[in-house]
C-alpha cells in the first residue's frame, strides 16, 4: 500500500471520525503559483520552476551549436544570463536584457572507454544524461534525487546528492569548454587553464557559459534503494554508522513529529526486487494531515504525532531497484521553495536538532520533511564542500505558502554553524559574509571572474549582491 | 579520447517515434519542426510520456478533454504560468508562443483549426 493511501485511509477513518468538525480544515485552496500573469500575443515572461522569480528578457536566443553559443555571447546586449531547466530557487537566472537558453545544446559528444570518461553538451538534461551514458556503458558515480536540471546548471551550482564517499556533480568534472563574453572558447582542466578550471567547476554562471563538460564516470551499475519510516532519535543515535553502512544514506525528519523517512541506497544484489511504489504526492498527504490537526490548541501537536504514527509507523518499506540513473532520481510533482545550507559534517546532527527544536518552540509553519544529507569534501574554490566534508540540510515550504518568514527564522541557525548556502537555493547572504565562509579561495575566484568578465556583463542583481560587483 | 557522436538515445527515439505516430494519425496537425521536436523531447516528454507523473498523456484524448474545452489560449496561459505540478514554461525557456502552440496541439492531438483562441484560463 502506498504511504499516501495509508495516510488517507487513516485520516478518513481516524481523524475525521474523532474530530468531525475538522472536515473544513484541510489544505488551503489553490492559489496562483505564478509571480506574473501572461496574456497570449504579448511578450512572454520567464519564470523559474518554483515560481518565485521572473523576468522579461528583451533578447532571447537558443544556440544549437558551440559556434552559435560563442556568437550569441559576443553579440549579447546588457546583462546576459544563461538558463537550462530554470530549476534554481535563487535568482541566478533573471535578466531583463539577454537570456541564452541551452535547451538545444544537448547530447553526448564523445566518450573514452579506457578512462571511463564522457563529454556531454552542457545543456543536456540530467534525465537524458543517464540513458546517454548507459548507452556507452558508463554511469556517473552519484546523481541528485531529481533529474530535471541541465548538466551545465548542475555543475555551476555544485548540485549534489548524498553519500559520505561521494562528492557533488562538480567533483566529477575533469574538463570543460567555457564560452566567455569576449567570444573566446576556453578549454580548461587539471593541466590547462587550471585556475579557470577550479573556478568554473562551481561558477554560478559568473564566468561564461559552458558548452561541453567531461565527466569521470564508472562502468554502468545497478542500485537498490530502501525507503523506510523510522524514529528520528533511533536514526540519529547511530547516524555515522548508518552512513558508513550504506553507499548512500539520507533522512528526512518530519517537523512536529518523532518520525523521519530514511533512504538507504546500495549496489543492487542478485534477486533484489522492487516492492511498493514511490509516491510523489506523499508530501501533500502529509500536509493534509498537518493542516487537519495542527490548529487544535494544545493537543494539536500530540494529535499530529498520533496520526502520523498510526498512519506511517508500521508502513512497509518501499524498495526500488534498477539502473543507477533510474533509481537515484524521484519525481517532483509538488512545487515548493527550498533553502539549503551545508555545515561541516561534524556539526550536522547538532544543527539538525536545533532546527527541529526551533520549529517546535516558535511554532513555525513548516510541515514539509527536512532533507539531511552528507557529501564528501572537494577542492573546488566555491563548492559548498571545499576543504571539508559537508552535511547539507534543506528546508522546504509548499509553493503556495509564504516561505520568507519561516526561512528567516531558520537561516541564522545555519550561520551559527558556519554554513555555506547552496548557490541555486534561497539564502540572503552577500559578498561580505560569503567571503568569510570561503576564506581560502574567494579572492582567487574574484580575480578569475574579473579577468573573464571585466565589464560585469554576467552580473544580474543577484550576482552583484553575491560578488559585490 | 575516442570520438563518437551519440546524439540520441533509445528513450528519446522511442518518445519521438511515438509522437510522430500520433501526429501522422491525426488530421490537420501542424507537425513540429526539428527544433521543436528537440524542445519537446528535452522538456514536455519528461512528464507527458510518463503515466506515473499524473500529467495528461500525449495523444490520449480523454486526458486532454477538459483542457481542450477551455481553449488553446487557456492552455497556453497554464503552460507559461504553470499549473499544479506543471512548472512555468514546462521547463522550456527556449520555447516561443508559436512553439508552445504547436507542442500543445501535438500533445493534445487536436487539429489546428479546433482550438485557436477558444475559451478562457482555468
Chain A's closest residue to B3, CA to CA, is: A110
Within this chain, do residues A182 and A242 fall inside the same structural domain, yes or no? no
Q: Does domain B32-115 have CATH number 1.10.3720.10?
A: no
- What is the per-residue pLDDT across A165-189, written as a single tens digit (0 to 9) for each? 999 999 999 999 999 999 999 999 9
pLDDT of residue A64: 96
Distance CA A375, CA A396 (A): 19
Per-residue pLDDT of chain A (469 residues; tens, 9 = 90+): 344 443 444 333 333 333 222 222 333 434 567 889 999 999 999 999 999 999 999 999 999 999 999 999 999 999 999 999 999 999 999 999 999 999 999 999 999 999 999 999 999 999 999 999 999 999 999 999 999 999 999 999 999 999 999 999 999 999 999 999 999 999 999 999 999 999 999 999 999 999 999 999 999 999 999 999 999 999 999 999 999 999 999 999 999 999 999 999 999 999 999 998 777 777 777 787 787 776 666 556 678 888 887 777 666 788 999 999 999 999 888 889 999 999 999 999 999 999 999 999 999 999 999 999 999 999 999 999 999 999 999 999 999 899 999 999 999 999 999 999 999 999 999 999 999 999 999 999 999 999 999 999 999 999 999 999 8
> Bridge partners of A82?
A100
H-run or E-run covering A139: strand A138-139
pLDDT of residue B7: 34
CB distance from A146 to chain B under 8 Å? no
In a domain, A245, yes or no: yes
Whether A373 contacts A160, CB under 8 Å: yes
What CATH number should be reported for the domain holding residue A354? 3.40.462.10
Q: How far apart are the first and last CA of chain A?
A: 54
Within this chain, do residues A123 and A149 fall inside the same structural domain, yes or no? yes
- Residues of chain B with C-beta less than 8 angstroms from the C-beta of A49: 87-88, 91
- Please give the backbone phi and psi of residue A358, each rounded to the nearest 5 degrees, phi first: -65, -40
Within this chain, do residues A382 and A233 fall inside the same structural domain, yes or no? yes
C-alpha cell at A460: 544580474
Within this chain, do residues A271 and A384 fall inside the same structural domain, yes or no? yes
Chain A's closest residue to B46, CA to CA, is: A127
- Please give the backbone phi and psi of residue B45, each rounded to the nearest 5 degrees, phi first: -65, -25
In a domain, A395, yes or no: yes
What CATH number should be reported for the domain holding residue A182? 3.30.465.10
- Please give the backbone phi and psi of residue A54, each rounded to the nearest 5 degrees, phi first: -150, 165
Whether A202 contacts A192, CB under 8 Å: no
In a domain, A440, yes or no: no
Whether A312 contacts A257, CB under 8 Å: no
Q: What is the least distance, in Å, from the CA of B85 to any CA of chain A?
A: 5
Within this chain, do residues A383 and A397 fall inside the same structural domain, yes or no? yes
- Domain hosting A167: range is 108-220
Distance CA A311, CA A289 (A): 10
Q: What is the least distance, in Å, from the CA of B107 to any CA of chain A?
A: 19
Which among A220, A247, A265 is the end of a domain?
A: A220
Instruction: Say whether A47 and B84 touch across the interface (CB within 8 A).
Output: no
A contact residues 325-344, partner B, Cβ 8 Å cutoff: 331, 333-335
Nearest to A323 by CA among A73, A135, A107, A102: A135
Distance CA B84, CA A51 (A): 11
In a domain, A71, yes or no: no
Instruction: Say whether A36 and B81 touch across the interface (CB within 8 A).
Output: yes
pTM assigned to the model: 0.89
CA distances from A343 to A330, A403, A406, B44 (A): 25, 21, 19, 36
In a domain, A462, yes or no: no
Nearest 5°: the CA angle A414, A418, A422 is 65
Nearest to A319 by CA among A270, A278, A282, A260: A278
Question: Among B9, B46, B82, whose Cβ lies nearest the Cβ of A33?
Answer: B82
H helices within B26-96, ranges in order? 34-39, 45-48, 61-70, 72-81
Look at chain A and report how many structural domains it folds into. Answer: 2
Within this chain, do residues A207 and A309 fall inside the same structural domain, yes or no? no
Judge whether residue B121 has pLDDT over 80.
no
CB distance from B34 to chain A under 8 Å? no
**Mean pLDDT for the stretch of residues B61-82:** 93
C-alpha cell at B12: 528519446
Sign of CA dihedral A408, A413, A416, A419: negative
CA distances from A301 to A257, A289, A398 (A): 8, 11, 20
Distance CA A47, CA A53 (A): 6
Distance CA B72, CA B47 (A): 19
Which among A220, A243, A276 is the end of a domain?
A: A220
Within this chain, do residues A188 and A282 fall inside the same structural domain, yes or no? no
Whether A297 contacts A303, CB under 8 Å: no
CA distances from A289 to A11, A99, A258, A315 (A): 7, 42, 15, 16
Within this chain, do residues A152 and A206 fall inside the same structural domain, yes or no? yes
Instruction: Say whether A86 and B39 touch across the interface (CB within 8 A).
Output: no
Distance CA A317, CA A36 (A): 42
What are the structural domain ranges in chain B? 32-115
pLDDT of residue A280: 73
- Residues of chain A with C-beta less than 8 angstroms from the C-beta of B12: 128, 131
Which among A421, A437, A463 is the end of a domain?
A: A421
Within this chain, do residues A301 and A382 fall inside the same structural domain, yes or no? yes
Within this chain, do residues A193 and A255 fall inside the same structural domain, yes or no? no
Instruction: Say whether B97 and A44 touch across the interface (CB within 8 A).
Output: yes
- What is the per-residue pLDDT across A293-306, written as a single tens digit (0 to 9) for each? 766 665 566 788 88
Within this chain, do residues A372 and A361 fall inside the same structural domain, yes or no? yes
A contact residues 382-421, partner B, Cβ 8 Å cutoff: none
Distance CA A253, CA A367 (A): 10
Q: What is the least distance, in Å, from the CA of A145 to any CA of chain B?
A: 15
Within this chain, do residues A369 and A241 fall inside the same structural domain, yes or no? yes
- Residues of chain A with C-beta less than 8 angstroms from the C-beta of B5: 107-110
Nearest to A60 by CA among A97, A105, A19: A97
Suggest the residue from A85, A117, A146 to mutate for an interface test with chain B (most B CBs closer than 10 A): A85
E-assigned strand segments in A190-323: 209-216, 218-219, 222-231, 248-253, 259-267, 318-323
ipTM metric: 0.86
In a domain, A448, yes or no: no
Amino acid at each position: 500500500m502506498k504511504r499516501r493511501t495509508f495516510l488517507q485511509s487513516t485520516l478518513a477513518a481516524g481523524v475525521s471520525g474523532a474530530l468531525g468538525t475538522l472536515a473544513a480544515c484541510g489544505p488551503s485552496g489553490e492559489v496562483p503559483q505564478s509571480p506574473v500573469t501572461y496574456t497570449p500575443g504579448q511578450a512572454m515572461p520567464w519564470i523559474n520552476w518554483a515560481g518565485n522569480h521572473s523576468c522579461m528578457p528583451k533578447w532571447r536566443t537558443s544556440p544549437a551549436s558551440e559556434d552559435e553559443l560563442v556568437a550569441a555571447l559576443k553579440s549579447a546586449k546588457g546583462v546576459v544570463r544563461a538558463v537550462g531547466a530554470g530549476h534554481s530557487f535563487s535568482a541566478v537566472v533573471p535578466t531583463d536584457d539577454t537570456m541564452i537558453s541551452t535547451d538545444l545544446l544537448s547530447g553526448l559528444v564523445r566518450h573514452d572507454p579506457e578512462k571511463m570518461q564522457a563529454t556531454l553538451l552542457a545543456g543536456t538534461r540530467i534525465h537524458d544524461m543517464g540513458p546517454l551514458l548507459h548507452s556507452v556503458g558508463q554511469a556517473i558515480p552519484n546523481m541528485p534525487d531529481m533529474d530535471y536540471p541541465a548538466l551545465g546548471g548542475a555543475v555551476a551550482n555544485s548540485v549534489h546528492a548524498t553519500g559520505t564517499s561521494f562528492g557533488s556533480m562538480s567533483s566529477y568534472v575533469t574538463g570543460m569548454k567555457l564560452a566567455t563574453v569576449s567570444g573566446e572558447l576556453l578549454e580548461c582542466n587539471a593541466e590547462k587553464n587550471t585556475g579557470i578550471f577550479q573556478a568554473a567547476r562551481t561558477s554560478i554562471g559568473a564566468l561564461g557559459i559552458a558548452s561541453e563538460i567531461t565527466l569521470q564516470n564508472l562502468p554502468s551499475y545497478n542500485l537498490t534503494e530502501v525507503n523506510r519510516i523510522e524514529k528520528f532519535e533511533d536514526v540519529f543515535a547511530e547516524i555515522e554508522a548508518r552512513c558508513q553502512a550504506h553507499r548512500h544514506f539520507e533522512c528526512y525528519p518530519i517537523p512536529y513529529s518523532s518520525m523521519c523517512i530514511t533512504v538507504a541506497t546500495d549496489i543492487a544484489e542478485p534477486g533484489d526486487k522492487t516492492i511498493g511504489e514511490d509516491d510523489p504526492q506523499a508530501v501533500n498527504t502529509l500536509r493534509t494531515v498537518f493542516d487537519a490537526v495542527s490548529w487544535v490548541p494544545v493537543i494539536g501537536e500530540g494529535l499530529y504525532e498520533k496520526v502520523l504514527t498510526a498512519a506511517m509507523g508500521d508502513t512497509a518499506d518501499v524498495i526500488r531497484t534498477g539502473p543507477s540513473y533510474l533509481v537515484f532520481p524521484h519525481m517532483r510533482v509538488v512545487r515548493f521553495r527550498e533553502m539549503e545550507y551545508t555545515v561541516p559534517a561534524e556539526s550536522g546532527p547538532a544543527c539538525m536538532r536545533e532546527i527541529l527544536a526551533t520549529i517546535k518552540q516558535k511554532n513555525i509553519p513548516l510541515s514539509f520533511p527536512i532533507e539531511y544529507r552528507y557529501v564528501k569534501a572537494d577542492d573546488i574554490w566555491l563548492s559548498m564542500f571545499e576543504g571539508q566534508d559537508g552535511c547539507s540540510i534543506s528546508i522546504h515550504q509548499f509553493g503556495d505558502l509564504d516561505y520568507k518568514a519561516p526561512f528567516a527564522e531558520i537561516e541564522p541557525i545555519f550561520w551559527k554553524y558556519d554554513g555555506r548556502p547552496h548557490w541555486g537555493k534561497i539564502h540572503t547572504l552577500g559578498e561580505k559574509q560569503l567571503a568569510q565562509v570561503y576564506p581560502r579561495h574567494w579572492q582567487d575566484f574574484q580575480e578569475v571572474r574579473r579577468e573573464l568578465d571585466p565589464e560585469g556583463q554576467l552580473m544580474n542583481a543577484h550576482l552583484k549582491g553575491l560578488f559585490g560587483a | 579520447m575516442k570520438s563518437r557522436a551519440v546524439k540520441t538515445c533509445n528513450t528519446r527515439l522511442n518518445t519521438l517515434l511515438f509522437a510522430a505516430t500520433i501526429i501522422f494519425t491525426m488530421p490537420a496537425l501542424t507537425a513540429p519542426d526539428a527544433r521543436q521536436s528537440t524542445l519537446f523531447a528535452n522538456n514536455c516528454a519528461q512528464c507527458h510520456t510518463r503515466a506515473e507523473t499524473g500529467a495528461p498523456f500525449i495523444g490520449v484524448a480523454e486526458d486532454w478533454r477538459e483542457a481542450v474545452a477551455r481553449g488553446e489560449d487557456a492552455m497556453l496561459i497554464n503552460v507559461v504560468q504553470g499549473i499544479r505540478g506543471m512548472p512555468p514554461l514546462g521547463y522550456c525557456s527556449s520555447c516561443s508562443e508559436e512553439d508552445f502552440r504547436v507542442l500543445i496541439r501535438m500533445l493534445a492531438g487536436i487539429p489546428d483549426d479546433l482550438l485557436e483562441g477558444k475559451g478562457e484560463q482555468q
